[in-house]
Amino acid sequence: MQDETLLMMPGPVPMPQRVRMAMARQAINHRGAEFGECLKDLNRMLKPMFGTENDIMVISGSGTAAMEASVANFCAGKKVASLVNGKFGERLFKISEIYAEEATEFKSEWGTPLPLEELEKALEEGTEAVTLVHNETSAAIKNPAEEVGRLCRKYDALFIMDGITSIAGDEVLADRWGADVTVVGSQKCLAAPAGLSAVSASEKAWENLAEKRPFYLDLAAYKKSAAKDQTPFTPAVPLFFAMREACRIIEEEGLENRIARHKNMAEAVRAAAGAWGLELFCQTDKFHTYSNTATAISYPDGIIDSDFRGAVKKYGIEISGGQDHVKGKIFRIGTMGATGIPEVLSVVSAAEKALRELGFKVESSGTEAAADVLKI
């Protein structure tokens, strides 16, 4: 739209009209039956997206709040291993440093395979909890949640999984993989407004509940209030209504269809990058694959990040650069949520034009390559 920037970033993402309109309602008493119904609806609709039978607690706070809630409530006083190959893995490590008895980073370069053998050794030696970012958007790599879950089960460790940017856009099977605590953010594949997050916790997680917990992020208080269909503290009501509407849209699309669509969109962007002759940033292997919700592409020599993204923005489209030490080295395109074929075609065309404008000779048409993948 002329008065809106098309966000093709790894979140936030454009929201469907129905989701936005759900926020414009008049205030209600959040201790009443209507809000209780909303909470129940969210619990019911989010469970299959998490791949869990455990109850889902929705937190009025961003994904980071839910990450902190997971670690503070269930990993306090433990030996925690944090798997890190990107910015959000680092964040989970930093949070673990606050609450864990001992927090250790198991680190590889951003976007490269994680040191799973080292992790197994640490588990043998008594690591009690492991944190993993399933879909690391800072590098657009999908990490091996199933394999990490297998290792955690083998050594009876708690598995904390950040599914912030995979849930509702990619396959997440928390229970089958053995993820004890799983987290999602609202403004990613759910295509809901920013400001909410949600957590599921297994029986085993609850058995490990910390005695001393934070107040606002005390998940035991959430559990207790959920029994009365309430939240322990004032919830961000308009965002809950919006997230329910977003979940309804996901139900209507069908989760399998949605996951297939996400996979298809990411494939299309990767096909475009290949056609242009550009390299994808992340390194895959048997366990690590490309993200199905975001794509990170390395800049060729001579292309300046701000010039490139500025040129794309002239077409009314916003994409992301790299974060921290990869700033200037990569650009990232998100293909999440309610965005579909038209939006992917737009961003690929704009990026291709921007590359040409900046003097890069593309090998072949990325637009055509993307379109070939996208056609239904």
| Tokens at 157, concatenated | 């460790």
What are φ and ψ of residue 141, in 5° steps?
-115, 145
Min dist. Cβ of residue 252 to a copy of itself (A): 20
Q: Which is nearer to a copy of itself, 23 or 132 (CB)?
A: 23
Min dist. Cβ of residue 124 to a copy of itself (A): 29
Min dist. Cβ of residue 355 to a copy of itself (A): 21
Answer for which of 65, 158, 275, 303 binds a copy of itself (CB under 8 A) is 65
| Tokens at 37, concatenated | 């119904």
Instruction: Give the C-alpha distances (Å, rounded to integers) separating 179 from 98, 129, 234.
Output: 22, 11, 29
Min dist. Cβ of residue 173 to a copy of itself (A): 26
Contacting residues for 54 by C-beta, under 8 A, at least 6 apart: 47, 174, 175, 200, 201, 202, 203
DSSP annotation of 330: E
Q: Which is nearer to a copy of itself, 24 or 376 (CB)?
A: 24
CA distance 205 to 86: 25
- Which of these segments, 67-75, 107-115, 147-155, 351-359, binds a copy of itself (CB under 8 A)? 67-75
Q: Tell me if 2 contacts a copy of itself by CB under 8 A.
A: no
CA distance 140 to 133: 11
Q: Tell me if 305 contacts a copy of itself by CB under 8 A.
A: no
Per-residue contact track with a copy of itself, 182 to 221, x per CB under 8 A? ---x-x-----xxxx---------------xxxxxx----
Q: Tell me if 1 contacts a copy of itself by CB under 8 A.
A: yes
What are φ and ψ of residue 299, in 5° steps?
-70, 140
Nearest alpha-carbon partner for 288 in 162, 139, 87: 139
> DSSP string of 82-122?
EEESSHHHHHHHHHHHHH-SEEEEEE-STTS---HHHHHHH
Q: Which is nearer to a copy of itself, 311 or 362 (CB)?
A: 311
Per-residue contact track with a copy of itself, 222 to 241, x per CB under 8 A? -----------xxxxxxx--
Q: Given the rule CB under 8 A, which residues bind a copy of itself? A: 1, 4-5, 7, 9, 11-15, 20-21, 23-30, 32, 60-65, 67-68, 72, 94-95, 98, 185, 187, 193-196, 212-217, 233-239, 242, 318
